[in-house]
Amino acid sequence: MKEYRVITLHSTHLNQDKRLFIYLPEDYQETETFYPVLYMHDGQNLFDDLIAPYGQSWRIIEQFQTHDDIPKMIVVGIESDKDARSDELIPYRFEFFDHEQAGGKADQYLKFITEQVKPFIDKRYRTLKSPKHTALMGSSFGAVNTLYAALEYEHFFSRYACVSNAYLFEGFKTPMNKRLASKAFTTLKKLYIDVGTKEHKDDDIQEKYITNNKALANTLKTKLTKDQFRFQIIKDGKHHESDWEKRFKSIIEFLFSEEA
């Protein structure tokens, strides 16, 4: 049976209600085990095809049910706001290709996660509370937000996954690259980044996906070991939950591998 919980929490940082989508390991009620926690952006897209805006979720629960060798953990998805998603996930103001502006509220959003959501989850469920056992994961702009968290929120997380990283726009890419140049990742355990070869139908935008992520990866390779950092270019990888579902198992195995 596919079960998950939905809880609404008011964000004082964003001044709005946010739904949390929570998956507990199937043996949670039968054990006294404490579990690592994976926090994920776009929580409405994770577990249930019926509420996923584009018709398919990541089908994460099926992944845990199908594969006994995936590390057991609690998964907490934070709902994204359709109208304010870019504002909440991107740390700096930037312009889209059509010159529409967005971004700038990532710190409010991440403070909501670290100061409200995480304490709530840690109090309510049997979690391994330390950053060593806490991961953050997202796709597209959620990947950009996750990378930003690796730069600025290391006291809360140590494992990060940036899927189909939409590292496209100078308005946030330039200040993040500048911050990255001086960053010493003293507590980071794992960082995963990938990009697909079919993220976008526009050839120029697709080229930005590949070129920008390659440059980012080259910088990160000078700061992190092979055990810490993994970068992948996914052949024929598309910007869709159906593709991210296929990668979920291997990403989780890397994030929570024992050598860290």
Q: Mind listing the pLDDT tens digit for each residue in 24-46?
A: 999 999 999 999 999 999 999 99
Alpha-carbon distance of 203 to 230, in angstroms, equals: 25
Mean pLDDT for the stretch of residues 47-54: 90
In a domain, 235, yes or no: yes
**Is the pLDDT score of 141 beyond 60?**
yes
The reported pLDDT for the residue numbered 260 is 43
Burial of 33 (0-12, 13-18, 19+ CB in 10 A): exposed
Alpha-carbon distance of 113 to 44, in angstroms, equals: 16
Q: Which residues of 142-177 are buried (b: 16+ CB within 10 A; e: fewer)?
A: bbbbbbbbbbbbbebbbbbbbbbbbbbbebbbeebe
78 and 40 in contact (C-beta within 8 Å)?
yes
Domain count across the chain:
1
In a domain, 260, yes or no: no
Give the contacts of 123 (CB within 8 A, at least 6 positions apart).
none
Q: Which residue range is the domain that position 226 belongs to?
A: 5-255
**Is the pLDDT score of 54 beyond 90?**
no
In a domain, 77, yes or no: yes
Alpha-carbon distance of 257 to 260, in angstroms, equals: 6
Q: Mind listing the pLDDT tens digit for each residue in 85-119?
A: 999 999 999 999 888 999 999 999 999 999 999 99
Rounded to 5 degrees, φ, ψ at 106 are -60, -35
Q: Mind listing the pLDDT tens digit for each residue in 185-212?
A: 999 999 999 999 999 999 999 999 999 9
pTM of the model: 0.97
In a domain, 177, yes or no: yes
User: Whose structure tokens read 């080259």?
Assistant: 218
The reported pLDDT for the residue numbered 1 is 56
> 33 or 83: which carries more pLDDT confidence?
33
CATH number at residue 50: 3.40.50.1820
The reported pLDDT for the residue numbered 162 is 98
